[in-house]
Amino acid sequence: MTIKDFVDYFENVAKGNKIISHATPQDRVAFKRIDIEDVINGIRSDLEGVSMYLESPEIKPADALSDNPRKLFKGAFLIMKPVDVSDVDQILEALDICQTVCDQILAKILNDLKKHKINSLHPFKIKGFNVGSVDMQKVGPIFGNSYGYRFTFTLDQTFTSNLILDQADWYSDTPFKI
């Protein structure tokens, strides 16, 4: 899986969800890529309504010394809705809506995984999803006045290469001294 595969999948999830409704360019924009630094630095959002903010995945090697090294993609996205922060009822309604969207996205991922297991020709590159790795944390107010959930998960992938050194990738005169 590439980072582009990751982003494309979740952008399509946002486009297909009726609550997020990121269907056409003339509609409101309801999907944005962000980095955690954006959240920490308190960016202001230009998105309206229920929106998805996809974070770039963190990548960690696992079992690197075994015969089957793995690559763990730690992914996250936010489902947020702007509210009047002085209105507790609006905040609770936003949290309910955002939790519903998170549940819908989880159901979509599980359905796509199931389709891929039944038909390996089904183009699904988000493999290695484990529902046990999912965590949904309430967040808000961020981006000025939005509340919702941060949905985190891990994808267990194989490396695209087997981590075998290819001498063609290296200059022959590179000084490696041990």
Lowest mean pLDDT among 39-43, 85-89, 108-112: 39-43
Instruction: Give the closest residue to 54 by CA, choosing from 91, 96, 22.
Output: 22
Lowest mean pLDDT among 29-33, 101-105, 146-150, 153-157: 29-33
What percent of the chain has pLDDT above 70? 68
What angle in degrees, to the nearest 10, is found between the helix axes of 88-118 and 3-16?
A: 120
**Whether the predicted model's global pTM rises above the 0.85 cut:** no
The model's pLDDT over 57-100, given as tens digits with 9 standing for 90+, comes to: 888 888 766 777 788 889 999 999 999 999 999 999 999 999 99
Q: What is the mean pLDDT of the chain?
A: 78
Q: How many Å apart are CA 47 and CA 49, to the nearest integer?
A: 7
